[in-house]
Structure 1
Amino acid sequence: MFNDSLFFSLSTRMSKQGRTIIFSIHQPRYSIFKLFDSLTLLASGRVIFHGPAQEALGYFASAGHHCEPYNNPADFFLDVINGDSSAVISNREDEDGEAKETEESSKREKPLIEKVAEFYVNSTFFRETKAELDQLSGVQKKKKSVVFKELTYATSFFHQLKWIAKRSFKNLLGNPQASIAEIIVTIFLGLIIGAIFYDLKNDSMGIQNRAGVLFFLLDNQCFSSVSAVELFVVEKKLFIHEYISGYYRVSSYFFGKLLSDLLPMRMLTTIIFTCITYFFLGLKLVVDSFFITMFTLLMVAYAASSMSLAIAAGQSVVSLATFLMNITFVFMMLFAGLLVNLRTIVPWLSWLQYFSIPQYGYAAVQHNEFLGQNFCPGLNVTANNTCSFAICTGEEYLINQGIDLSPWGLWKNHVALACMTVIFLTIAYLKLLFLKKFS
């Protein structure tokens, strides 16, 4: 049998240790009522009493309502609130209670509640409670803002990070439809691209095919990263609720979501996509070139996803964030280097290329693939013996595209992508940090 007295006593001891315990109890018996620290009584939307529970009987006695001997105080308080004449009428010698009808008692019920409520407003209990509330909420606006926005946390940053990442990863595994669909589409797309551009040749057409497929690889990485907009938009209300409740810091939530969702999914799809397409296409069969291509595609994916987060953070509608991302990527594609030679753009517009994510990725994969290639087999392609009307070496193609042939010409693109990733993630974090959370 459930022992409610033991349970209440145990709950009282646990609450004194700093734990918050909430449960509902109806008409407690006297042995349980004695364990109450404070008591609040409400009737018809009015506060009848709020103060120490052990002083409640004396308070009602001063108001003219005396508890009968051996009566449960909890029942007595309900009688007062409900206007029961057997409990609330005292010192009424001039009234013949036995002659009053039930209808007349009900007519006195509302005035009785108002009388008791007014008595409480004029009591010391009300003044003490009002003083405590004024001190807590603050009379000035600044004090009120500090009270509600200075949150304290019972756990460390790394403890919160661990559990947020663990929860997000479990949600990812528990609802794998989107993740599995993304992996299946990646595999299917890789096979289709591999079949279309299968076994690229080192001839004049091989230059065009290589330039086109490398651009498509970067294009795919950018547009597949649009799905990252849902990372903070879908859980916006949940994040606000848990943050203002003091569950975790903004930084713990931000990095936890990145570590458990964004980083592993982008890495997995990039590895799968690169392994399928690279060998189907017959790109440069050098170990270093393979991993540089994979690393470049991964950096582009992270930079594009970071920009998606920067645009989507704080938004409430996924479709709006997706639309903005698509427009931004289409604009960036114009300055990637395939559709137009970047050296031919007018000076007052050429600076826009430095804000294009695919431009850095495209320059890196071209440098990695074309350097050292010969597209005029059987011809002597020494420095001064090249075709006048055709590009025969990868170096000639890179120079024509305005790409630096030095090692720094390759790695400066990765540095730029890393910087853009950090900048966009910082913007996303600041938008979450300064998001309006208190209404």
Structure 2
Amino acid sequence: MRNLKTDVTFGAYLDVRELSFIRSFAKGGCVSSIYTPPITAEFLRRVSFKVSHGEVHGIIGASGSGKSTLLKVIAGRLEGKVDGVVWLNGQLLTKPRFSALCEYVDLNSPLLPNLTVEQTLHYHARLALNCKPETVNYRVFTLMQQFDLGPIAEKVVNSLKEADSRRLVIAMHLVRDPVLVIIDDPIKNLDALSAFQLMSSLQDYCKRQARMALVSMKCPRSDIYQLLTQLTLLFYGEVVYSGPSKQMPHYFNSIGFKCPSVENPAVYYLSLASVDRETPESYAETQTKAMKLAEIFRERRDSLPLLNPPGGLPSEMPILSCFYGAPSNASRVATLFSRQLTYVGRSGCFVFGQFILPLIVLILALFGTSVNNRSWHIPRSIAGSSFALILFSGLAGVWATCIQFNDLRKSMFFENSLGLYNGILIFFVFLLLGVILDVLSVGMAAFSFVWKLTDDVQIEDFVSLFGIIWCAYYFYKLITLASFVCLRSSQKVLLFGTHLAVFMSIICSGFLKSYQSFLSVSNYMSPITYISIERFSNHRMAQDFVNATKVQNCSRDEFHEFSSVNNFCRWTKGKNYLQETLPENITLPEWWIGPLLLVSVTFFIGAFFLLITQKCAQKRIGKFH
């Protein structure tokens, strides 16, 4: 357990000194970027300000002034050249230290839509804190009180208003009791009452817990202005003013810019730090004035007593998350499994996805035939039914996973970006619960198909068909999970999985394209199909069911007399059909080949989730937005 009692004190403070940020980015598309040099721009220039415990520090400025960039640079979420330093309690604020002690709040964080507010906050606390259930419950109860979440505790997340959703997300990030919380524009597009409720709750939390909040906003109203302890006004990455919000009018009055008594000081001085783009003359004039204000402040900031009030630091006190430490992986797996069960019970889409396979197989069984049919086409009919069964089992695995894992994928990246767990845990939990639920789904599918196929349900036939369907279904379930890691859009995942299943069934099943045709083209085509689940599944179906078919009252070739065309057949039994479609050097696979292939793919796909880093998850969350 890591102990930071000597690392962070109760009276923490943030000191940003001479922070500059330069970044290069390519212009145009992939081709033009090859011969076009990248553009280098300075987004921040010598930004300095301080935040003390118990304060809500506002970063204000017009659009493009560098507010969001400043917050992301402090949080270590932007790549580029950074000059200057950021101190937290006299120590350099590095990325690992920020992850351990601070929180960057993404208000668009994806949450599981079918959980209630209380369930969402409670499970998040169990993933973040390693402490007794009573302590977790008290922490959740306290945050729900402080952020007015009690009246909506039983509401489902996807039915929340925007203001309620933002208060919930902020409360989730405060579960670990971070020293510093950074929020980009928390009141954007909120009505006056909701914005005041959110900022008032945040201010009250910071005062009670002696924590710091750094928030950005474009144009705070007068009531919000009163809640901000300090303000930093930016103009194109430069500081025009930084200090106590109550001293802001006095400072600008001292340099000849007095705020009218009927004006909101924040809005009035923000207008001074903005450019008028109506005409070239007005643009040049307002830009020159704003740059002059930034230059004046840079010259006078260290000499004004009102901007540098004296103050000491109280006694040391550990923060909650570092005191209790992080929960073990076993505890996280138990929490994720419990949450998954709750989510399944409240999600109609998840339940629907679970019954896609038995519904499709039931339809195939109703339109299928039986091995006891003695008609001349029965070997190929049974082979066609087997082909359709394997194909649609794979497609059902793709479609069900797209429905069931889409919301979980977003939640996984969000929680991984916070460092709560590695993606391999959600992969393990999803498959573990899937095994339990899929036994019922695959069992129903196997029972309905074997009942139609054999007109009787024998235990050997049922077990054989159960294993075949399971291998095809889970193979494409794993492929779809890997696609969710690599592809951004769920529609692309659906299309990729569907096309792959159809393509592999055509190439590797041996039904639509015989292996004999492979050998006629190249001796290297046929061995490629060994790594496909379609080859194993269709061959096992052929051995167990096509091989059992027989044709009556027919002549196999035209050299024997037959009374009518109906008496002529191509195959007298299933074995003749298999001898025709399979080359002599191809043997039927052993039963263990399919499970071995499935286990190998499971470990390979698990590596995809294991390699999801916190930085990778943060980038993926940004792309979701």
Give the TM-score band, short-chain normalised: 0.5 to 0.7
Gap runs ≥5 in structure 1 = 1-9, 47-76, 85-101, 129-151, 380-387
CA separation of 1:415/1:212 partners in 2, compared to 1, >3 Å: closer, same or farther? same
Counterpart check, 1:363 vs 2:576: no
Give 1:331's aligned residue: 503
Give 2:343's aligned residue: 171
| Distance in 1 of aligned mates of 2:553 and 2:213 | 98
Counterpart check, 1:437 vs 2:624: no
Give 1:196's aligned residue: 367
CA separation of 1:366/1:112 partners in 2, compared to 1, >3 Å: closer, same or farther? closer
CA separation of 1:162/1:248 partners in 2, compared to 1, >3 Å: closer, same or farther? same
Give 1:350's aligned residue: 526
Amino acid at match of 2:346: G
Map 1:10-409; keep pairs closer than 5 Å.
20=177, 24=202, 43-45=230-232, 83=250, 115=301, 154-180=326-352, 183=355, 186-200=357-371, 201-227=373-399, 228-230=401-403, 232-260=405-433, 262-282=434-454, 286-334=458-506, 335-345=508-518, 346-347=521-522, 348-371=524-547, 373=548, 375-376=550-551, 390-402=570-582, 409=589
| Distance in 2 of aligned mates of 1:355 and 1:431 | 24
Q: Deviations over 1:38-85 (max 9, x none)?
A: 999954317xxxxxxxxxxxxxxxxxxxxxxxxxxxxxx88667759x
Q: How far does residue 241 in structure 1 lie from its aligned partner after superposition?
A: 2.5
Amino acid at match of 2:605: L
| Distance in 2 of aligned mates of 1:231 and 1:351 | 35
Q: Deviations over 1:83-142 (max 9, x none)?
A: 59xxxxxxxxxxxxxxxxx99xx9xx999996577559999989x9xxxxxxxxxxxxxx
Query: Normalising by structure 2, what TM-score?
Result: 0.45
Is the 2:361–2:445 Cα contact (8 Å) retained in structure 1?
yes
Q: How far does residue 401 in structure 1 lie from its aligned partner after superposition?
A: 3.9
CA separation of 1:330/1:374 partners in 2, compared to 1, >3 Å: closer, same or farther? closer
| Distance in 2 of aligned mates of 1:403 and 1:412 | 22
Counterpart check, 1:426 vs 2:600: no
Is the 2:540–2:588 Cα contact (8 Å) retained in structure 1?
no
Gap runs ≥5 in structure 2 = 1-137, 143-174, 180-200, 215-227, 234-243, 252-260, 270-292, 314-323, 555-567, 620-625
| Distance in 1 of aligned mates of 2:386 and 2:504 | 16
Q: Give me the CA root mean square deviation.
A: 4.9
Q: Which has the larger radius of gyration?
A: 1
| Distance in 2 of aligned mates of 1:249 and 1:190 | 36
Amino acid at match of 1:244: S
Tell me the matched-pair count: 339
SS at match of 1:365: helix
Query: Normalising by structure 1, what TM-score?
Result: 0.62
| Distance in 1 of aligned mates of 2:612 and 2:210 | 42
| Distance in 2 of aligned mates of 1:374 and 1:157 | 52
| Distance in 1 of aligned mates of 2:572 and 2:303 | 96
Amino acid at match of 1:357: I
Q: Specify which structure has the higher proportion of helix.
A: 1
Is the 2:374–2:551 Cα contact (8 Å) retained in structure 1?
yes
| Distance in 1 of aligned mates of 2:421 and 2:410 | 14
Is the 2:422–2:609 Cα contact (8 Å) retained in structure 1?
no
CA separation of 1:263/1:235 partners in 2, compared to 1, >3 Å: closer, same or farther? same
Q: Deviations over 1:344-391 (max 9, x none)?
A: 3122433332243222111112112245x3614589xxxxxxxx9754
